[in-house]
Each structure stands twice: as structure tokens, then as C-alpha cells.
Amino acid sequence: MSTSVAAPRKWRKPPLIKNPVMRWSLLLGALLYLVLALGTMEVNWSRVYEGLDRGGRFILAFSQPDFVSRWSDISAGMLESIIMTITSTAAGIIISIPIGLGAAKNIAPLPVYIICRGIIAISRALHEIIVAILMVAIFGFGPLAGFITLSFATIGFLAKLLAEDIEDTDRSQAEAIKATGGSWLQWINYGIQPQVMPRLIGLSMYRLDINFRESAILGLVGAGGIGATLNTAFDRYEFDTAAAIIIIIIAIVMCLEYLSGIIRRRVQ
């Protein structure tokens, strides 16, 4: 007498949408939308063909970057970007902390909460380029416009995440401070601050990284920084100088990333 043992069935992950008709309809609809969207794009293929040669020369320039010919302009623009990045990040952090406290629903009264959330929403609604163009129109060309733009962007980024971290804190630790008769300032300093400080330092370092990269972009619209030198190099087809600038930017961003990791590990 022989008994046959059925082979175990292989487990398969269930589909996100169980109804096969709905699943395939959405897939076909997405493909149709993609085809129609690509069809509306007007591509000048002759312009693309002409640009391939310039693109190739730009890529080859990375093998022989020119750090010497315009080093005075590169160093001046890079120093301006670094100063603008550090000062705007510091100013943005100082302003973001009270706004973040006011935007946390669990510690701020409703009127303060609404005002601070409105400030965050306005800051996040406007892209840095739009703010930079407006600041250049008001204050003129130079790093002041870039400093105000990056500080404004830092407020929306840091205050929102800080407020969310405060709302996610452990209430028992804060309530213990309040139960001992501590003041509001002591409640914040001993009940809230220790829980959010590592996260705040990590976000601040991340924003420093972002602000440096953004400073290179803001220079394209006249808001100071290395972006103006980079834009001039592209306009003159000095791809070797542009490659040198991009390599320096990449090196500084990598150093900031390494420094950020060290600081986060020490804080945590």
C-alpha cells in the first residue's frame, strides 16, 4: 500500500488589489496615461543630437578638471556659499525651535498652534527658487538674498519635523516633571528637550547639507554662492572649470555627510 504525499505549495504574497478586474484595469489605465503623457512631450530631436556633443565634452571634462584657471572665482564663490550655508542654517534653527514648540499640539494652546502651523505651511509652500527670485528683486544680487532664502526654507523644514517629534514624545516623562511642581520652562527643558535633542541635531546637520547644495542652485538666479561661477562656466562652455566646481561640491557634501554621522553617533 503506497501513500502519496502532496508537495507543499509555495507561498505567494497576496496582491495589493484583490479584485483582478480592478487590478488589471488600473494597470492598463496607468500604461495608457503614460503613453498619452509621453505623446504630449514636444522633443526637438535635432536639438538633442546637437547637444550630445556638448554633453560628451562635459563628461570627458571630469577626467581633466581645471582647478587653476579660475581658482580665484571658484574659491571666492565657494567661501561665500559656505558662509551663507552656515549662517542661514544657524539662523533657521534658532527661529525654528520656538515655532516648532508652538506648532506641537500637545504643548501649545490652540491660537499659538494655528499661527505657527500657518508659518510652517507658508514656508513649505514656496520653493527656494521662487523665494530667491523675490529676495533678489527686493535686496538685489548677492548673498543676503540667499541667506534669507535658506533661512526661510530651514524654518519650514525643521520646525515641522521638530513639532512632529514633540507630539510623538513620551508623555509620562513630561508629566513627571509637571507633577513635581516644575514650571513650563522646566517641563520643556527636562521633559521634552532630552527626547527630541538627538533628532534635532541630526535634522540640523541634514539641513546644513541641504542648504549647501541649495546655495549652488540659488547662485543661478543671483542669490550669491558658487552657483554664479558655475553658471558662468557653463555659459562660456568651460566644462573643465564646471567639472572642477562640481567635484568640489561633491567633496564638501561627502565631508558633511561623514561629519553628520559622527555627530549623530556621539549624541545618541
Q: For residue 204, which of 266, 162, 147 has the smallest C-alpha distance?
A: 162
252 pLDDT tier (thresholds 50, 70, 90): confident
Which of residues 81 and 264 earns the better pLDDT score?
81
| Average pLDDT value over all residues in the chain | 84
36 pLDDT tier (thresholds 50, 70, 90): confident
Is a pLDDT exceeding 70 seen at residue 136? Answer: yes
CA 8 to CA 168: how far, in whole Å?
A: 45
pLDDT at 240: 85
CA 263 to CA 10: how far, in whole Å?
A: 46
Which of residues 182 and 45 earns the better pLDDT score?
45
pLDDT at 88: 92
Q: For residue 78, which of 260, 241, 192 has the smallest C-alpha distance?
A: 241
Q: For residue 232, which of 70, 76, 93, 62 has the smallest C-alpha distance?
A: 70
C-alpha grid cell for residue 217? 542652485
CA angle 96, 99, 105 (to 5 degrees): 130
Q: Is 110 exposed, middle or buried (0-12, 13-18, 19+ CB in 10 A)?
A: exposed
pLDDT at 225: 82
151 pLDDT tier (thresholds 50, 70, 90): very high
Q: Name every residue whose Cβ is closer than 8 Å to that of residue 249 and which is 6 or more positions away in sequence.
A: 212, 213, 216, 226
Q: Is the separation of the CB atoms in 108 and 116 below 8 Å?
A: yes
Is a pLDDT exceeding 90 seen at residue 222? Answer: no
28 pLDDT tier (thresholds 50, 70, 90): very high
pLDDT at 95: 93
Which of these ranges, 1-15, 116-130, 179-193, has the smallest mean pLDDT? 1-15
CA 34 to CA 40: how far, in whole Å?
A: 10
- Tell me the Ramachandran region of residue 80: left when phi exceeds 0, alpha when psi lies from -120 to 50, beta otherwise: alpha
5 pLDDT tier (thresholds 50, 70, 90): low
Q: Is 265 exposed, middle or buried (0-12, 13-18, 19+ CB in 10 A)?
A: exposed
State the pTM of this model: 0.75
Cβ neighbours of 91 (radius 10 Å): 17
pLDDT at 228: 83
Is a pLDDT exceeding 60 seen at residue 254? Answer: yes
**Alpha helical stretches, state H, the chain:** 20-39, 45-61, 71-102, 110-125, 128-139, 143-167, 171-179, 184-186, 193-218, 227-235, 239-267
